[in-house]
Amino acid sequence: MADYKLYCFGESGNAYKAALPLSLSGLDWEAVYVDFFGGEGRSPEYRANINTFGEVPALIHGNEKIAQSGVIQSYITEQSGKFGGKTEAEKREVQAWVLWDNHKLSSMAGLTRFLMNFLPEDKRPKEVISFNQTRLKAAYNTLETALNGREWLVGDGVTNADFSCCGYLYYPEPFGFVRGDYANIDRWLANIESLDSYRAPYDLMPGSPADRA
């Protein structure tokens, strides 16, 4: 039995932001499928035993129950000694990128991807999608500029800043991000893909749209 259990499902970019560093950390972990679209996350049992918020990801380690991808990333760093930044300044910068991503990038990308792919076509709010994509372009440009001349967002190696900001950018479903339009982001994503034990979202976590087709 694995020491760390990550409750997740393949379609969740937020879960991927926790699964990817786990995969690269060397910790003994396993992915536990959550039937989120079937309502499992909203069940009283799940809220009582796994995640009070009724969300994924959730990490269980012994008596620890940890929610929110950024907090899980920090816990993985505590346990493995990896991905948190080397200096105090780098640690603060990593935290800043994680917070920025959650507010400016992942929140918009996750919502827009959901609206464009997981709702019936006749229920997709075109004006909302267009508004979100405009905000996302600003976020992509921020990321593109930050990666100019850099291999990683913080320091000289991969950190939670990278794992957080890349979370939704590997998904194949359309939501307004075209990787080839951003040379620095494309190169950076390739750097992450080249890491040992890297796996794409649907290869790393159970569950995909094909399973529900």
The domain spanning residue 165 has which CATH number? 1.20.1050.10
Q: Which two tokens stand for residue 135?
A: 């905000």
Shared-domain flag, residues 139 and 60: no
Based on the fold, state whether residues 60 and 98 are members of the same structural domain: no
Which tens digits make up the pLDDT trace of 120-178?
999 999 999 999 999 999 999 999 999 999 999 999 999 999 999 999 999 999 999 99
Could you tell me the residue range of the domain that residue 114 belongs to?
88-193
Q: What is the pLDDT of residue 213?
A: 67
What pTM, to 2 d.p., does this model score? 0.96
pLDDT of residue 210: 85
> Taking the C-alpha atoms of 140, 193, 148 and 96 in order, what is their torsion angle to the nearest 10 degrees?
60
Report, as an integer, the average pLDDT of 92-98: 98
Q: Are residues 97 and 77 in the same domain?
A: no
Asked if residues 132 and 168 have their Cβ atoms less than 8 Å apart, the reply is no
187 & 96 share domain: yes
Q: What is the CB neighbour count within 10 angstroms for residue 101?
A: 27
HSE toward the beta carbon, residue 195, CA cutoff 13 A? 24
Of 33, 51, 83, which residue sits at a domain end?
A: 83
Last residue of some domain: 43, 59, 83? Answer: 83
